[in-house]
Amino acid sequence: QMQLVQSGGGSVQPGGSLTLSCAASGSTLVGYTIGWFRQAPGKGREGVSCISSRGGSTEYAEFVKGRFTVSRDNAKNLVTRQMNSLQPEDSGIYFCGRSTGQCVLGPSDYFDRWGQGTQVTVSS
């Protein structure tokens, strides 16, 4: 069955940039919306962005608009997210998830499979 394997992340100073990747293993991402969620300490998993199965539609949470960009290359079974102008409040564990539905920033249970999570730390 499909597994989502994440890479990227790390530690950066405020104003810096990071790139996260979400790749499919064992199957293909074709036909799936991919969402990105963030889980900060003491908080639940909140939607950050999503991209439709062919990349034609994207949605971004208000707190990341203008700073984060998500794209995909279905030929490579790969979704990437560029994060710019990072701030401490962006810190947390980021997850990519798979959905058979439309690209909407709904609750996390809208997605039925998840990557292992990638830590992003923004601090001075």
CB neighbours of 90 closer than 8 A, spacing ≥ 6?
A: 38, 64, 83, 120, 122
For the segment 8-30, what is each residue's pLDDT rounded down to a tens digit?
999 999 999 999 999 999 888 99
The tens digit of pLDDT for each residue in 70-110 reads 999 989 999 999 999 999 999 999 999 999 999 988 788 88
Tell me what pLDDT residue 110 has: 85
